[in-house]
Amino acid sequence: MLFGPRQASVRARPWAAIPAAGACDCEKMSDFNAYAHLRATSRTFALSIERLPQPVKDAICLGYLMMRISDYLEDNDVMSDARKVETLQLWDRVVAGEEAPERLVAAIADCRPPVGHHDGADFEAANAAPDVLAMLRRLPVPLQNHLVLHVRATSMGMARWVERGPVIPAEPDMDDYMFEVAGRVGYLVTDVFAWYSRFVRERLDVLMPLAREFGLALQTVNVIRGLRKDYERGWIYVPDSFCAAVDLKRTDLFNPSYEREALQVLDMLADKAERHLQLALAYVQALPRWLHGLRLACIWPLLFAVRTLAISRRNVNVLLGEVKMTREEVKAIMRDTTLFGWSNRWLANYARQLRDAPREAVTVRLAEAG
């Protein structure tokens, strides 16, 4: 899950001429298996998406893959910035139905990474764009239009940031970047949920502002978790203003001589993430309790982020590498929330205990949190 105000300036082109009759059954309709691509690109989000009811499940799977294609075009190691912008603009036209998806496949043909490369799964998703869009056209038309609208918006937002470059003077700039590269997913998800349930539709005024916060929450934690890796590829997603507050240059954030100041900056990022996570929790609590599958699809990434933030706070290893939850913690969160996640009170207590549990904990068994 992931989220900000709706953008009317990028309009979806309806696929009204194409008949649609419910779920597209992305695992069975052809040799193309959207869920295999989903699992290859993100095992974490696959866990959440595969718990959704149909046709929401197929819509979110395809929406995620389409945004993952945008992300690959923005973030790959092969293209120049100018070519990234050009290819994102091409993808925007393809999604709008103005150009054939085979044009995108041809445009990236020379970008295939070697076997085992970290971009491999994302490249394969982009290479499968014709199949992804063929599946899209089998969804109900309103769902197609929601996906087209938000994928186009995020693609053009990414292109804007590629042109701008890694310049993040202040926190609002960081929020703008995070919203464009991840936060818009929250609008997509919320619109799909609202199509599925009138109870969600009746709460859109509450949910949409919180959707943006959900996206910022997850992406801020991603920024913290990937600080070192991003630095090694030439990006530092930390506002200059955060570093200036402790008399530190952004370029010295990873200098061991400034470890104390760097940890203070990490504290600022963690506090920011915590503020967004509290509002993300409010998003989940605003979803009807009886829509347990929809809630779980949001609860799992939310609580994974809560726990990841907890083990990252004041942790110098964040500056040296990547800090991750244990597999046992992931399993425990999934087990416990499946049983008790319908309760808002229990969920708030559980999130608090995940945040406060010792960093060294191997497992988290908090089923008695309520």
CA dist 225 and 223 (Å) reads 6
* φ, ψ dihedrals at 271, nearest 5°: -65, -40
Q: Which residue has the tokens 């919320």?
A: 190
Q: What pLDDT does residue 7 have?
A: 33
Lowest mean pLDDT among 17-26, 307-316, 351-360: 17-26
H or E element that contains 193? helix 184-196
> Do residues 66 and 136 make contact, with C-beta atoms less than 8 angstroms apart?
yes
Average pLDDT score, the chain:
88
Q: What pLDDT does residue 33 have?
A: 92
Considering only CA atoms, give the Rg of the chain: 20
pLDDT (average), residues 183-208:
95
CA distances 351 to 21, 277, 309, Å, are 39, 10, 11
Q: What is the band of 280 on the pLDDT scale with cuts at 50, 70, 90?
A: very high
**pLDDT value at 10 more than 50:** no
pLDDT (average), residues 266-290:
97
Question: Per-domain residue ranges for the chain?
Answer: 34-325
**pLDDT value at 240 more than 80:** yes
CATH tag, 34-325 = 1.10.600.10
Task: Provide CB contacts within 8 A for 319, sequence distance 6+.
Answer: 227, 228, 253, 254, 259, 262, 266
Greater confidence, 4 or 290? 290
Q: Residue 50 has what DSSP assignment?
A: T
**pLDDT value at 253 more than 80:** yes
Please calculate the CA angle 204-210-211 and round it to the nearest 5 degrees.
Answer: 80
The string of pLDDT tens digits covering residues 100-126 is: 999 999 999 999 988 777 788 999 999
CA dist 121 and 133 (Å) reads 18
Greater confidence, 181 or 350? 350
